[in-house]
Amino acid sequence: MTRTDQLMALRPIVKIDTSKSSLHLEEFQNNTLRPILKFQNEIILALVNNSFGKVILPKSAIEKNLFIENYIQKNHILKNQLIGLTIALFTEFEVAFYLDYQSDINKRINQLIIKRVSDQIT
């Protein structure tokens, strides 16, 4: 079994409506990023929670979401760790695609992680 086969076997199935024609980046997001982030969810939450330390999150959902977004965007070490957690589970083909669209894919990874963390951290 190759590394690619092993990585693909690890990824959970994420049901996404693919009936609309998608751009290559959208397909990559739906077929690669979402399953990897779902698989890495517990580690992502642990890293973010540990990074927060004794920070008390705002009570309102809007303020909490803004706080988390700003925190992850400004904490470059955490942001790079979260991107690294994702990239580490790319196949060779996905790494090649990532290198062609690195900036766009990093933005998508950050957006997906911020949404994921905001929805789950209380």
- Please tell me the total count of domains within the chain: 1
Q: Sorting pLDDT into bands at 50, 70 and 90, what band is 19? A: low
Q: What is the pLDDT of residues 78-103, one digit of tens each?
A: 999 999 999 999 999 999 999 999 99
Could you tell me if residue 71 is inside a domain? no
What phi-psi label fits residue 72: left (phi over 0), alpha (psi between -120 and 50 degrees) or beta? alpha
Could you tell me if residue 15 is inside a domain? no
Q: What is the pLDDT of residues 20-48, one digit of tens each?
A: 657 899 999 999 999 999 999 999 999 99
Provide the whole-model pTM: 0.89
Does residue 18 surpass a pLDDT of 70? no
Could you tell me if residue 115 is inside a domain? yes
Total Cβ atoms within 10 A of residue 111? 13
Calpha distance 116→33 (Å, rounded): 12
Calpha distance 87→85 (Å, rounded): 6
